[in-house]
Amino acid sequence: MPSSLGDTLRRWNVAGRAASIPPPPCTGIEAVVAGRYQATPHGPCFVAEQRLPLTWQQGRYRLGQALALSPLARALLTRASDAEPFEPRRALFLDTETTGLSGGTGTYAFLVGLAYVDGDEFVLRQYFMRHPGEEAALLAAVEDLLGAFPVWITFNGKAFDAPLLDTRYRYSRRRPGPAPRLHVDLLHPARRLWRHHLPSCSLGTLERALLGVRRAEDVPSWTIPTLYFDYVRRGQCEPLRAVFAHNEHDLLSLAALLGLVGEVLDTPPRYAGGVDLLAILRLYVEAQQASEAIGWCPAALRALPAAARGPLRWELAAVLRRLGQREEAAAVWRELAADGGPWGVAAQVELAKHLEHRERDYRAATRAVEAALAALAVSRAPTAPGQREQLERRLGRLRYRARLAQDLASRGSGGEQAVKWRPSASARPDGRARV
């Protein structure tokens, strides 16, 4: 007689209470992967462990470089103003292999890879679920280690790995799984730094393009669920060797990537042309490290081709203005205006505002607006709606103020003061009553 759905769920230990008939274990994983069985209140869990020296090379980078993050790089990674928001030696690297890529209650994490630093060694542990009935044992085995570290470091873990583990804890009717005080997801800084320079920001692409990692006979991620199901249903152990190796490389590359990101954030000019310097500048500002960014921007600009300097110069001028360094901002606008190009008109306008409202030099401001209008006249790029009309109104106002300031100066009435005016419609070149 066929078993009911409830009997099937209880047999696979997913019905919320202990299985009355434990499923036959799939043996043989220890024959292809060196490891041991860890006892838990819910049964044994297979654990593979490796200890590597911090001098171990993952591509071009040593694992120990992840520990050399400067306080500034740590603050930028967490977008915090605190000098030392986290300590890499107290961080846990996390990566999972699952029965699907969509998440949800039907997706299991059958292999949980965890890595951390212990003295002079990089410890890598992989917790394996031989069948769905061992999920409770796996969750119990990783719980203490997950809760022992205040910082988790993942790649797309905020959107996938961490929510999936939390779902599995809740679905097994356990208390919510451990959560870190701080979660550093390296996918986000990777996208900021390289999305305009690489075809994608997947970990595999970053490995090949930046870390110098070449995986030999790696198993594609999309085939991993099938390999696991073949093991559960047919006991095919040998293909899982490649799955464990794939998870191991993910963790090692995660540590190497952390070291590389730290280097880039510490010395942006060294990587000019290969990263998005504009994104790094904005990251500095978000972390309240704008003064540090102002220090490296000149060297970064010199390292860039002349045609690529405009966006960074424009953003630098905006930062300087927000910090109250208006003279320095004006100097950057003058450089942009002198270079011409798509940023020339905008730089002339900002320079005209500065000359009018800060220096009260109406003649110089007039020349800046005239230069902007001249650039628009020959530009082939589309202009913003109403941009020319706005510049013409500004030009009319500046010419009026320049004449009035000259008259006041000739009468000894203090022509350097701000000239306030409200001309009649007839005095305006566009016929409007107010600028």
Looking at residue 35, its pLDDT comes to 95
Cα(257)–Cα(255) distance, integer angstroms: 5
pLDDT at residue 125 greater than cutoff 50: yes
The pLDDT assigned to 5 comes to 58
Mean pLDDT to the nearest integer, 8-16: 53
Quick one: CATH architecture of 26-266?
2-Layer Sandwich (3.30)
**Residue 81 banded pLDDT, cuts 50, 70, 90:** low
The average confidence (pLDDT) of the chain is: 86
- Of the ranges 125-129, 289-293, 360-364, which is most confident? 125-129
pLDDT at residue 430 is higher than 50:
no
425 pLDDT above the threshold of 60: no
For residues 236-255, b (16+ Cβ closer than 10 Å) or e, as one string? ebebbebbbbbbbbbbbbbb
Closest to 147 in 3D by CA, of 94, 108, 109, 96:
94
E strand residue ranges, 236-328:
none
307 pLDDT above the threshold of 60: yes
Q: Hunting for tokens 């679920």 — which residue is that?
A: 129
Identify the pLDDT of residue 285.
93
Digit-coded pLDDT (tens) for 157-170: 999 999 999 999 98
Per-residue pLDDT, 384: 78
Residue 416 reports pLDDT greater than 90: no
Higher-pLDDT residue of 3, 108: 108
CA nearest neighbour of 318 among 281, 371, 275: 281
The pairing of beta strand 43-53 with beta strand 36-40: antiparallel
Residue 383: predicted pLDDT = 74
Element (H, E) at 246: helix 240-266
d(CA 7, CA 349): 76
pLDDT-derived band at 178 (thresholds 50, 70, 90) equals confident
Q: Which residue has the higher pLDDT, 409 or 127?
A: 127
What average pLDDT does the segment 178-203 reach? 94
User: Do residues 350 and 358 lie in contact, with contact meaning Cβ atoms separated by under 8 Å?
Assistant: no
Domain positions in the chain are 26-266, 340-427
Percent of the chain past pLDDT 90, that is, above it, reads 59
Question: Exposed e or buried b for every residue in 82-120, given b needs 16+ CB within 10 A?
Answer: eeebbebeebbbbbbbbbeeeeeeebbbbbbbbbbbeee
Task: Label residue 306 by pLDDT band (50, 70, 90).
Answer: confident
Q: Is the pLDDT of residue 80 over 90?
A: no
| Highest mean pLDDT, choosing among 99-113, 279-293, 398-412 | 279-293
pLDDT at residue 429, rounded to an integer:
40
pLDDT the model gives residue 12: 56
What percent of the chain lies above the pLDDT cut of 70?
86
Residues near 163 by beta carbon (within 8 Å), at least 6 away in sequence: 103
The rounded distance, in Å, linking the Cα atoms of 321 and 311 is 16
pLDDT digits (tens, 9 = 90+) for 341-362: 778 888 999 999 999 888 889 8
Q: Could you tell me where the DSSP H helices lie in 59-134?
A: 71-78
